[in-house]
Structure 1
C-alpha cells in the first residue's frame, strides 16, 4: 500500500506494485440522475482517508462486455471481480504513477486514456487497459509519465437525446460531457499526484478516438497533445437532433412507452431499471454524438476538414489549443465490420450496388467502377465479396481520416500505419485487425506474444511514451514531406516511409473517386450498408 497526502483530495491510499503506485476508482464527477449532467467532484480534504485500492463501478453496459472485447482481441486476460455497475456512481478514474515521483513531487507528463467500444459499451477498469506496465516501461526509458484511465457513460445513458428529455433537464452527449469533466478534473488535481497539468496528452482508441477528436469542438483547453488510434470524429459524426427524435421514438416503442403522454413517458423511463432499459433498446437506436449546438456546434465532414489548416476560416476551437497529434490506423481495422456484412446473406455484392445507387443517385458508372476496382462486383462468392466490401469500408472509415488529418490538421502531426498481424487463433489471425494497437500499447498481453510481434509492440508503445513525454517520436509529416512510420511485416519495429497508399500497405483506389462520387456521400452510404440498413 502507498499513501499520498493530496493537497485537495486529502489522504489517498493506493496500491504499490514494483516501481509504480496505482490510485484506483477515484471519483471525478457526481451525478444526481443517470441521464444528468456531470458535475466536477473536487473531494473534501478534511473528509478522512480516501480508499483507492480497488477499481470503481463501471457505467451500465451490456453483460459480459469485457469478454466480448477479449473475443475481438482473440486472447483473454484474467477478469477480476468487478464491483457492480452503477448508473450514477460510475464516473471514476484511476491514476498510475512512478513510485519515486510520488515521493519526489516532481511534475511529470500525463496521458488520459479514453476507451473504445463504439460508444455503446466499455470500461476503463478492464484488465486490457491496466496502465501499470506502460508507466513501468516509461521509467525504464527514463521518460517517466503518469497514466490516467476513466469510466464514462456509453449507450443510451451516454448519448440518447430527444426534445422531451432535454425539456426534462437532460442534455445531449452525456458521454462526451463526462470525458470533458474528467479532463477538467485532471487539470485541477493531477499536480497533487506529481503530474503536470500543462503537459496532458489525450489518448483515444476506436470510439475513444472519436471522442477525443470530438472534444476539439470545446472552447476550453482540455489537453495539449492527442494520440488517435483507429477512430475519429470523421468516422462517427454528430447526427442531427431531428434524427435523434426518430431514434427516441423507436426507443420508446421498444420499451412499451409509445402510446402515452410525454410526461408519463419520462416517468416511465425514470421508473424502469437501468439494465432493463438498456437491454430493451433496439439495435436501430445508435450510440452517436448529437449535433446539439451546445457541446457540439459544428458539422463534421471530409469537405469541411479542408478548411482546418486555413486560419482565415472558422474552425474547431481545439485546432488552436491542441498543438500536436499522433494519428494512425491498423491495416485491417474493418475486422469490426465483417460480422454484420456476413449477416446480410447471399448476393451481398449486388445488395451493395443497389444500396449505393439508391443512396447516391446519378452516379451509376462511377459506382460500378469503384466496385470493380475493389474486386466487389466480380467476387467469386459472398465470402470474398464481404471481404472486399470490408476493404472499402476500411479505407473510408480509418485510412481516409488518417490522410485528412495528415493534410489538414494545423499543428504538428506524426502519422503511423500498423501492419503487424494478430498472432492468436481466430478469424483475424494473420491480419492487423482492430484493437491490435491498444493491445500493443499497454503491454498487458506481452507475455502471450511471439518474440517478433513483441518487438513490434515495444517499438510502437515506446514511441507513444516518447510523444507523451514531450519528445519527437519520429519525423513529423508536413505538406511538402508527407511521411509515416510503418510497423510490422517488412517494416518490423518501425520504418519511416513516404506516406503513399501502396508504400504503407494501403490501397490507392478510393482516391480516384473523390470528385466523381464524393467521399462524404460514399462514407455515409457504405456505413449505412455495413450497419445493416
Structure 2
C-alpha cells in the first residue's frame, strides 16, 4: 500500500506495483439521479480515501468483458469486479510513477474506454495502465495514466422531449466524460501531473450481438466506438486536452442523430415497459418507479446508445464533405480544431472485422443482398455501384464466404480508413499518421488479419506474455511513439497535404518505417478513392450502414 497527501482530496491510499502506484475507484462526479447531469466532485482535504479497490461501473451488458475478449481472440484472467451502479459509477483509475510528487509536473494520458457507448469499463484487465507507465519510466519519459468510467447504455444516452422537459439532459455519457476531464485538470497536479499537458487516448471498440432488423445507422453505433468519444469532445468551447491519439475511429464514423430519431428509441423503451398508453408526464413518473436493473434488462435490442444532435452539448454532425473546410474556415465546425494542438491518428488493416457482429449470421446469399441494398439506398449511380461491387470482388465472389469477407473489406474502407484519411488530411495542426498491419496471431475467424482492437492489445502490453517477439516489438514501438508524443516530441514526421506520410508498423514493415501515405504503399486499397466525386463518400457511408441495419 502507498499513501499520498493531496491538498484538495486528502490522504489517498493506493496500491504499489513495482515502480508504479495505482489509485482505483476515485470519485470524480456526483449524480443526484440516474439520468441526472454530473456534478464535479470536490472532496475534502481532511478526507481519507481508500483507493485500493476499483469502483463500480455503470449497469450494463453482463459478461461484456468476455465479449470483447472474443473480438480480440484472446482472454486474460478477469478479477472479481464490484456490482455495477446507476449513480455511483462515475469514478476513475490513476496510475503514477512511484517517484511522482506534486512538484514533478508529468504529462497525462486519459483513456476513454470503448464499447459502443453501450458497455465497457475502465476496470477491465486489458486496459490496465501499469505496464505502459512502467515502460515510460524505463524510457525516461514518465507519464500519468488515467482511465475513466462513465454512463453507457440507456443511462448515458436515452433522451426524449419528455425527459428533457423533466430536467434530464441529453448525451449524459459524454457529459460524464467532459466532467472527468475537468476533474483531472483541477486535481491531477496533486498526483504529480501537469494539467496543461493532457492527452486523450481513444480507441474504437466492439459491442454485443446485433439483431437483423435494426434501423439503418443503429447497427454501426452498437458495434463501433470509441475514439469516437474523443472526437465528439472536440465540440466543447472549453479546452479539455492538448493532444489527441485516435486509434481506429472518428466522429466521421459514428455520427450524432437528430432528436426525432431518439424519440423513436424512447417510444420503444416505453412500449417495452407497457408505458406507451400513458401521458408524457405519467410516463416519466412511471419510469421513475422502475428499478434500474429492470429498466435496463427490458430495453429492446434495437435501442442503441447513440449521441443526439441536441444543439446544446453536440452542435454539429461532421461529414466527409464538411471536413474539407476544417483548415480554411474562420469559424470551425469543431471548436477543438483550435484548442487541440496536435494529433496521432491511424487505423488497423482489417478494422472491418468488427462488422462480423452485424453480418456473421447473414452470410448465405450476402453478396446478392448487399448489391441490392446498395442500389436501394443510392439514388442513381447504379453503373458506379456495379463497378464498385466488381472492384471489391463482391459480384464475382466464388462463394458466400468470399463475398462476406469482401463486404467486410469495403466496410473497413468507408467506415475506418477513409474517415482516418479525411481527418489526417484536413486537421489544421500537426498530424502524425500511422497504419498498423501486424497480423493477429491468435486462433479465431480472423487469425492472420490485423484486426479491430488488436491495437489496444499491443499498446497496453497486457497481452505481451501471449505474443511472439516480433509482435511484441511492434506493440512496443507503437507505445514508445505515443509516449514520445504525449511528452511533447514528434513521434515521426508529420503529414501534410503536399507531402502525405505515415508510419507503417507490422507485417512487411517490421517495427515500422516512414512511407509515402498512398494506399498501395501502406497496405490499403485504392478503389474507394475513385468514388468520392461520383457516388460520394457520405452517400456510400450511409448506404453501408443501411445495409448493416438490414435495409
Tell me the TM-score normalised to structure 2 length: 0.95
* Cross-structure match for 1:89: 88
Instruction: Please give the residue correspondences for 1:214-253 in structure 2 after superposition, counting only pairs within 5 Å.
Output: 214-253=232-271
Instruction: Give unmatched runs, 5+ long, in structure 1.
Output: none
RMSD, matched Cα: 1.1
Q: Is the 8 A contact 1:25 1:57 kept in 2?
A: yes
Offset of residue 315 of structure 1: 2.5
Q: Which moved more, 1:349-358 or 1:364-373?
A: 349-358
Aligned match of 1:125: 123
Instruction: Check whether the contact 1:14–1:53 (CA below 8 A) recurs between aligned residues.
Output: yes
1:56-75 paired onto structure 2 within 5 Å: 56-75=55-74
Tell me the equivalent position of 1:188.
Answer: 186
* Counterpart Cα distance in 1 of 2:273 and 2:126: 34
Q: Secondary structure at the match of 1:503?
A: coil
Q: Deviations over 1:59-113 (max 9, x none)?
A: 11100011111111111111111111000000000110001113x7311000100
Preserved contact between residue 113 and residue 149 of structure 1 (Cα < 8 Å): yes
Deviates more, 1:140-149 or 1:65-74: 65-74
SS at match of 2:108: strand
What CA distance in whole angstroms lies between the structure 1 residues aligned with 2:5 and 2:356?
50
1:354 equivalent in structure 2:
372
Q: Distance in 1 between matches of 2:42 and 2:153?
A: 27
Q: Determine if contact 1:341/1:532 at 8 Å carries over to the other structure.
A: no
Residue 474 (structure 1) aligned with residue 492 (structure 2): yes
Where do residues 418-457 of structure 1 align in structure 2 (5 Å cutoff)? 418-457=436-475
Counterpart contact for 1:95–1:149, Cα < 8 Å: yes
Q: Which residue of 2 aligns with 1:202?
A: 200
Which of 152, 170, 173 is residue 150 of structure 2 equivalent to? 152
- Residues 440-483 of structure 1: CA distance to partner in whole angstroms, max 9, x if unpaired? 11111111111111111111111111111111111110111100
Residues 1:304 and 2:322 aligned together = yes
Structure 1 stretches of at least 4 aligned residues deviating more than 4 Å after TM superposition: none
Q: Deviations over 1:410-465 (max 9, x none)?
A: 01100001110111111111110000111111111111111111111111111111
Counterpart in the other structure of 2:519? 501
Specify the alignment match of 2:161 in structure 1.
Answer: 163
Match of 1:492 in 2: 510
| Deviations 1:136-160 (CA, angstroms, capped at 9, x unpaired) | 0000000000000000111111111
Deviations 1:345-399 (A, max 9, x none): 5221221122111211112111111111111111122111111111111001110
Distance 1:518 1:58 in 2: 41
2:209 corresponds to: none
The corresponding residue for 1:173 is 171
C-alpha separation in 2, matches of 1:392 and 1:509: 9
Deviation at 1:276, TM superposition (A): 2.4
| SS in structure 2 of the partner of residue 502 of structure 1 | coil
The answer for the alignment partner of 2:529 in structure 1 is: 511
Partner-residue secondary structure (3-state), 1:59: coil
Deviation at 1:313, TM superposition (A): 4.6
Q: Any idea what SS the aligned residue of 1:134 has?
A: helix
In 2, the alpha carbon distance for the partners of 1:383 and 1:157 equals 38
Aligned CA distance change for structure 1 residues 170 and 372 (closer, same or farther; 3 Å): same
1:532 positional shift: 3.1
Q: Secondary structure at the match of 2:169?
A: coil
Instruction: Give the match for residue 308 of structure 2.
Output: 290
Q: CA contact under 8 A between 2:318 and 2:333: conserved in structure 1?
A: no
Distance across 1 between alignment mates of 2:549 and 2:296? 19
1:37 corresponds in structure 2 to 37
**Whole-Å separation in 2 of the counterparts to 1:488 and 1:306:** 30
Structure 2 unpaired stretches of 5+: 205-224
